[in-house]
């Protein structure tokens, strides 16, 4: 359990403080969450609240650069943030939590009911990170792989495309409940993309399905359902949020709906 709090004045100082026994503290909604293992496993918390340069939002007409300490409420209110990211931020129904939770913290937590990761994967977002070797700019997928491998990184900024067509859907019993499925799709320079966060299962980018749509934009609903039903590489479990069959069905019908909205005739 954390017994010491360090106040970093800059990202570089925060990285200097970072050890295996320390954890970064951003908005606190994850670390302070009941049952969170982060604070329980850390001896030291490194607060980022006084770090300079982490809460700005800049747009250049093509991309928007968002400081990692920007809150969900800042995302929702900024006239520089694309509407698709505002929508994802508003998936967090509590304004109190939106005023605390940060974009960097939500990414770093890598929760399988993440509000933001599906849309960030779908739009091929990039992140500026600080490591022991210095500053790097990497894609969101590479960040997740490196974080899962235990690499120490501090998110400095998130970069997303400004003018892009995106659709998203979140399935939960109530606005305040954990989502069983959050799914996003976009049309990028490489074509159709699809990503999802499936509660207790993982964050997924469906590249094989994307290739199918690029070859045949008029895929049928039956084919979409068959793909997700038979996708053995997806490890989907039964739990209190729904059966494996139910989750695969939701992914199939949602993916089909996204295809119609982005690349085919909406039905």
Q: What residue segments make up the domains of the chain, in order of their start?
A: 4-47, 57-161, 166-262
Architecture of domain 57-161: 2-Layer Sandwich (3.30)
Fold match, 57-161 / 166-262: no
Tokens 């207790």 found at: 200
Give, for all 267 residues of the chain, the pLDDT tens digit.
677 888 999 999 999 998 888 888 888 777 665 456 666 677 889 989 999 889 999 999 899 999 999 999 999 999 999 999 999 999 999 999 999 999 999 999 899 999 999 999 999 999 999 998 899 999 999 999 999 898 999 999 999 999 899 999 999 988 888 889 999 999 998 899 999 999 999 999 999 999 999 998 889 999 999 999 998 888 888 888 889 999 999 999 999 999 999 987 554
- Total-model pTM: 0.92
User: CATH number of the domain at 166-262, out of 3.30.43.10, 3.40.50.12660, 3.30.390.50, 3.50.50.60?
Assistant: 3.30.390.50
199/3 Cα distance (integer angstroms)? 31
Which one, of 203, 199, 106, 202, lies nearest residue 155 by Cα? 106
> Per this entry, what is the length of the chain?
267
Query: Phi, psi (5° rounding) for residue 207?
Result: -70, -35
DSSP 102: B
144/114 Cα distance (integer angstroms)? 13
SS3 34: coil
């Amino acid at each position: 359990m954390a017994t010491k709090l360090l106040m970093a004045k800059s990202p570089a100082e925060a990285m200097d403080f970072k050890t295996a026994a320390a954890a970064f503290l951003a908005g606190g909604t994850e670390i302070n969450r009941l049952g969170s293992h982060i604070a329980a496993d850390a001896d030291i918390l490194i607060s980022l609240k006084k770090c300079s340069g982490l809460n700005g939002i800049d747009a250049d007409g093509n991309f928007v650069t968002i400081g990692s300490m920007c809150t969900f409420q800042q995302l929702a209110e900024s006239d520089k943030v694309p509407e698709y990211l505002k929508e994802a931020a508003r998936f967090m129904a509590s304004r109190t939590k939106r005023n605390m939770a940060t974009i960097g913290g939500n990414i770093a937590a890598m929760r399988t009911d993440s509000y933001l990761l599906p849309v960030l994967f779908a739009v091929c977002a990039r992140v500026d990170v600080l490591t022991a070797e210095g500053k790097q700019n990497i894609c969101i997928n590479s960040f997740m792989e490196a974080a899962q491998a235990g690499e120490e990184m501090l998110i400095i900024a998130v970069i997303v495309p400004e003018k892009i067509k995106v659709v998203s859907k979140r399935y939960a019993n109530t606005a305040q409940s954990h989502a069983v499925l959050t799914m996003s799709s976009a049309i990028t320079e490489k074509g159709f993309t699809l990503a999802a966060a499936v509660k207790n299962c993982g964050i997924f980018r469906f590249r094989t399905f994307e290739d199918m749509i690029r070859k045949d934009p008029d895929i049928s609903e039956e084919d979409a359902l068959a793909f997700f039903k038979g996708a053995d590489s997806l490890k989907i479990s039964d739990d209190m949020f729904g059966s494996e069959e139910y989750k695969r069905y939701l992914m199939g019908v949602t993916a089909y709906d996204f295809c119609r909205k982005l690349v085919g005739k909406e039905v």
